[in-house]
Structure 1
Amino acid sequence: MSEKLTVGPHNGELILRTGVAGPAAKAGHRLTISFESWSGSTTLIGGAPSTVMLSIVVDSLTVLRGEGGVTPLTGAEKVVARSNALKTLQAKKFREIAYVGDSVEPIDGGYLVSGQLAICGRTVDQSIGIDASQADAIWSLSAASVIRHSDVGLKPFSLMMGTLKVADEVELGFRAELSRD
């Protein structure tokens, strides 16, 4: 018997955190970005996940806040940061980021999902550790995965002739609560 569980902004959040690099890194902001339109699903067979899928609408990217920098991140700077991120992600050409996890292995406290991440026309292997706990009919899930611009063929945004740039590694974080009625 199989069961399908779905997740999205109604019961979870998807957060991207960037870092800064380069000789002028102290002048830059570490951004916290959310996606307002995304969906995920898993198929359970015998109560255990067998596949995992995630789809993110790139244009739903929103800059929530920026930490560090010489001055606080203003609303106008959030708009510019969003525009730069959408250019880096080639949002007009590639409207979706997708992940298909076709191998799910139980590990202590959760699952290790292995699959393929498709971003900007390039597909790479990506493994994600998911922490999972269950209380009554509610599953609490969380995950964090590092993605490198260089692994997916993207050039991080930079300023001042490369002395200030977005770090190659970004962290994608996920949390959700699912009801299993």
Structure 2
Amino acid sequence: MAAKEWTLDASDGRLLIHTGVTGRAAKMGHRLTIAMTTWLATAQWSGDELVGAELTVDVESLQVLKGEGGIKALSGPEKALARSNALKVFEAERFPQIDFRANDIAQTGDGYLLTGTLEIHGVVNECSVSVRVEDLGANWRLSCETEVRQSDFDMKPYSMLMGSMKVVDSVAISFTAEREKEG
């Protein structure tokens, strides 16, 4: 079987971060949905078997899509402030990329378990992600959900009001992309 490579980017799907809020003043804060709008994923195949996977994300591409909860709706200027605060937490100027590289790939009932290294904020940790693969007829859909703890990557979750309102350490990551079937 011939080897092939898929290249996917933000035109093929979405990479989202979902945050929570905690602390005595948590009701004042918003649970954010953040899109990473510039990313590149590659999947290497040998025949019908996935043999390699990588993902690179441009941290500066972070965009706040919406905020749920809070005392009032999240305004445009508040979205801009939340983006600025998130980029500070990431230290985006020093650490402009997030990288995942699969070192081991195991087939599962509905896709693959990718185990590899995740680098965020200059810190590299082992990470496992279950990727679902769905046959949509003309397309393949790849999707996954996982959680990442900011503190595992030497990041301090954003807080205000002397810590009485802060972003929850663990954030949820969701990824969905579609790829047209070949021939």
Calculate the TM-score normalised by the size of structure 2: 0.96
Q: Deviations over 1:141-179 (max 9, x none)?
A: 110110001111110000001010000000110001112
The DSSP-based 3-state class of the residue aligned with 2:56 is strand
Q: Distance in 2 between matches of 1:51 and 1:62?
A: 29
Alignment partner, residue 57 of structure 1: 58
Matched, 1:99 2:100: yes
Contact 1:50 1:102 in 2 (8 A): no
Deviation string 1:80-118 (CA, Å, 9 cap, x unpaired) is: 000000000000111111100121111121111111001
What is the rounded CA distance, in whole Å, between the counterparts of 1:135 and 1:90 in structure 2?
A: 39
Residue 36 of structure 1: aligned partner: 37
What RMSD over aligned residues (CA atoms) do the two structures have, in Å?
0.9
Provide runs of 4+ in structure 1 moved above 4 Å.
Answer: none
- 2:164 match: 163
CA distance in 1, matches of 2:17, 2:8: 17
Moved more, 52-61 or 18-27: 18-27
Aligned to 1:127: 128
Partner of 1:86: 87
Q: Which runs of 5+ in 1 are unaligned?
A: none
Give the number of aligned pairs: 181
Q: Map Cα deviations across residues 107-131 of structure 1 (whole Å, 9 max, x no partner).
A: 1211111110011110001111111
3-state SS, counterpart of residue 130 of structure 2: strand
Residue 137 of structure 1 deviates from its aligned partner by: 4.7
1:27 CA drift (Å): 1.1
Runs of 5+ consecutive residues of structure 2 not aligned to the other structure: none
Question: Which amino acid in the other structure matches residue 16 of structure 2?
Answer: I
**Residue of structure 2 equivalent to 1:24:** 25
Percent of counterpart pairs with the same letter? Answer: 38
Whether the 8 Å CA contact 1:2–1:46 is kept in 2: the answer is: yes
TM-score (norm 1): 0.97
CA contact (8 A) 1:43 1:52 kept: yes
Counterpart position of 1:147: 148
